[in-house]
Structure formats: C-alpha cells, structure tokens
Amino acid sequence: MIRVFQVKCAYENEVEAQLIKKLHIKKEDLLGYTIHRRSVDARHQKVLFSYVIDCSLKNEKKVLKHKDVQPCPDETYHFVSSGTRIMNTRPVVVGFGPAGMFTSLILAEAGYQPIVVERGSMVSLRKEKVDTFWQTGKLDPECNVQFGEGGAGAFSDGKLTTRSKDSRARKVLEELVDFGAKEDILIDAHPHIGTDAFLKIIENCRKKIIDLGGTFYFDTCLKDIKTKQNKLAEIKINDTWIPCENMILTIGHSATDTIRMLHQNGVMMENKPYAIGVRIEHKQEYINRAMLKDYATDPRLIPARYQLTHTASNNKGVYTFCMCPGGYVIPSSSSKEKLVVNGMSYASRSGENANSALLVQVNEEDYGNELFAGLQYQEDLEIKAYHMAGDYKVCLQLAKDYLENKVSVRLDDVKPTYALGYQFVDLNELFDPAINQALHEALIVFEKRVPGFVSEGALLSAVESRSSSSVRIIRDHDLQSNIQGIYPGGEGAGYAGGIMTSAIDGIKCAESIICQYQKHDTMKQKTEG
C-alpha cells in the first residue's frame, strides 16, 4: 500500500480519475483505494477538496519516487508489553472525561479491570441535571457541564481536531466509530461528533469497559489519599477508604477542590499559563458569507468555520478557540455563584448562530507566582462576572460597544443563544486593563481581516475561563507524580487541551501502568461506593 497526498478535485466521485492522473498510471493498475483524509482547499478562486489516499497498485515501487507519494504507514494500535511487578489492587481511574475514558478503555482491553470513580452522574442522569440548570438556573455543583460521565467534552460539540501527530490518535478515532460515531471522523480534517451524538458514544464506551471487567462508581468523589513511604496506599472515595496502589488522575480542569487536596497531601504542582476571555457570537449565515464568499450556500462547505489569531502590542496572544458552527453559548458553571460560559453544537450544526471562544493568554505576570495564584485569579473573575450579571444570566455586550467602552442598550440582528437570559454590562469593567487592551486590538484587527466581524452585531458573552487548567501536576518520565502510584493525566493535570489530546494522554497513562505491572486473570479487590 502507498499513501498519496494532494489529490484535488471538486467532488468525491472524481477521486479515482484524479488519482490515476496524478500517479501517471493506467486504470487497470489501480487495484483499490480508500480515503484517509479529506480537507478543503479554498486558497484559490475555485474551492477544491484535497484528499490523502491510501491505495494498492500493481507496481508500487515505480511510483514511490513521485512527489506526494510515500509508503503507507502501519497505523494499527499495538498494546505495550506487560511488566513484571505484581499489582495487588486494581488500578483506579478518577474522572471519566476523555482522558479517563481512554485510560480505562486501554486498561480494560489489556485485561487490567480498572475501577472508575466519577464524582458526577452517569450521562443519562447527568443530561437531566444539566437541562434542569439550563431551564431553571438550579445548579448541582457535583454534576453539571464540567462534572459527570463524559467530562466537559460531553457538552462541547465533540470536536476532534488536533495538531498532535501521535499515532494513538487513530486508535481514539477508531474506538469512537466503534461506539457509534460516524465514519467521517476518520477522514475529515476537522471532525466533530456533536453533543447529542456524543452522549450515546460515552454510554457505549462505559458498557464495553464493564464487559471487560471494569467497575464504575458514579456520584463518587475522591476526598483524600494516604501514602506510605512516599507511595500511594489508600484513597477515600465519598466516606469510604479503600486500598489503592495505582491511581490515574484524570479529573478535568474544574476539580479545583481535588487539586488543593492533593497539594495538601504533598503532591507537587506548579502554575501554568492558561487563557481567559469571552464567547463571540455571530449569525452563522454571516460567517458563511464572510468565509466562503461565492460558495456561501454550497452544502458541501456549510456551516463555515474560522480560526483567527493576533499578538497584541502588549505581547499577549489572542486567539479564537473551540469554534462552534450552528451552535449555542451555554451556561457552564460548576460552582455556586461563579459564572462560566462555553459553547457547543449539536451533530447537525443547524443552529442560527455561530460562536467561538475569544481568548487572551494569561500567566504569572498577570496573577503572581504563588502556587494557585492563577486559579484564584480565575475564580475571582468568575465571581465578579456572577455579581455583574446578578445571577447565572450571562454578562453580555455588543462587540462594537465594548470597543467604545459603553453598556449596550439593545441587540442588533444577532440574538443570544444563552438559555438563562442576559444582563447588559460593560466588559471593560470585568477584565484587567491588559486583557482589555489585547481584546480591543484583536477585535479591530479581526474586523479588518474579516469585514463585519465586529460591525455585524457580534455579541460578547462572559466569562470564558475554563479552556484549560491553570495548574500542572508535575510528573516524571513514567508519568507518575512525586508520590509513586499517582499518574496525573489529561487536561486537568495540565498535559492536554481538548478531547483528542486528553484521550491520547489517557492512553499514555494506561500504557505506563501496563508496562510496569503483570496482568492478573483475576483481581479480587472489592470496593464500596
């Protein structure tokens, strides 16, 4: 098999002809082909699709010297070999977001029968609790958009785009397809699942882990740990202590109480840069026109997306993130009297509006160098936003009014999608001067690059503060913390950003345990939760 890059055509039914033309071969020399990757090439007047094709030929050596051709790599996932150490207790995975899902799945597939502890509810009940919050403003601090089966990724559109070249990415995508995702995610350059479709996938993942010997405890929180000679010995889940010598921490970026508990028990960690900002909301029809121009109604290309970056004069990076075509700005608080927003789309991406995070990088220059100073900065901002809005309503301002430092008095064409209502505020009073300066400059630049980005009635909703963790739990080459037996992983530990990188890091954590310990046919540790 060979892999051919840059096979370009307007429609998929033209792929074979273009492939034959590019390779300078006869039709009968092509034995078969599959599409490996598909992306849009809109750099010229005519929009084309660019394909990466895996194919089999009669004489492959002859074409390997051609441009854009290489041998097809082996992308089959290979499990690491089991180690020799004896595992006296089953491994415990804390948190069942993307990192926890794939840590647990790999451990289960390898025969290590993980115990999964999730502070929130299983996804069906979790959805009910989230819906209750979105309809009434009644927040469950233990089960919400941030906490529960599936993690924060369950309510974030299920975007699977990643810059990671890690070979484990293919394993993640293939497993998601097995759990019910459309096969398009295997080939699309910007794959997504959609919040509504992702929920069933999460359930199917859990069922497979259980079938392979895993055990789940929902509504169960990690409360404390005990160590012996700098090794993990016991963990407290809810009110019960259980023996545990290997614990994978995939707790997500919002479990700040757990982070502080671990620090009190001697787990080493450090501040890390992260980002804060707003959600910017437009009509999707405008985004289609602005991005696609003459192709604004082409069903192959809509709904359109965008990605913008700018470095402000104060050296702060500003960028769009987690862009949700045809999506919704959603209430995403996980703590009482703290206001947090995020964005999501359903699988159809058919909503009237588009939204994206518009974020500014922050670091110790903004919040100080004491441990948890960044976390405190984040929490203070969320509290301030809550009080400015009066409750879980969103802090709202037209982008053009934000640039003019004035409170909006009416909406333009764009209507907010946030379910709990809105309060007009001046966001210049929410953020520090350095953040405001960076956002102001970026919006002016983006308006020039994409005419209408500000002036077409764009709305800013605040505060978007949970794009990544403000803390990194330090780990060694075996992915263990300074306390042996604790494996920090995923976004909450500071080693990932998004569903794919979190899932990949979760696989790495599982592999670290597998390559150290023997697989037991029967592990009889029992727990109560």
List all residues 6 or more positions away from 199 whose beta carbon is below 8 Å from its beta carbon: 123, 124, 127, 150, 154
Omega into 463 within 30° of 0, i.e. cis? yes
| Dist CA 19 CA 12 (whole Å) | 11
User: 89-131, pLDDT tens digit by residue?
Assistant: 999 999 999 999 999 999 999 999 999 999 999 999 999 999 9
Domains with residue ranges and CATH for the chain: 2-71 (3.30.70.2700), 92-268+481-514 (3.50.50.60), 271-464 (no CATH)
| Dist CA 175 CA 190 (whole Å) | 17
Backbone phi and psi for residue 42, each to the nearest 5 degrees, phi listed first = -115, 25
Among all chains, which residue has been given the structure tokens 């169960």?
220
User: 494-518, pLDDT tens digit by residue?
Assistant: 999 889 999 999 999 999 999 999 9
Q: Does an H or E element contain 37, and which?
A: strand 30-41
Measured in residues, the chain has a length of 529
Percent of the chain with pLDDT over 70: 97
Chain Cα centroid distance, residue 44: 31
Report residue 262 as tokens: 């671990």
User: 374-397, pLDDT tens digit by residue?
Assistant: 999 999 999 999 999 999 999 999
Cα distances (Å, whole numbers) of residue 356 to 38, 74, 469: 23, 36, 19
Residue 170: band (very low, low, confident or very high) from pLDDT cuts 50, 70, 90 = very high
Enumerate the β-bridge partners of residue 224. Answer: 236
pLDDT the model gives residue 527: 40
Q: Are 507 and 168 within 8 A, CB to CB?
A: yes
0.85 exceeded by the pTM? yes
Q: Are 198 and 499 within 8 A, CB to CB?
A: no
Would you give the DSSP letter of residue 85?
B
**Which of residues 45 and 218 earns the better pLDDT score?**
218
| Dist CA 272 CA 253 (whole Å) | 12
Cα distances (Å, whole numbers) of residue 346 to 154, 227, 301, 396: 11, 44, 17, 23
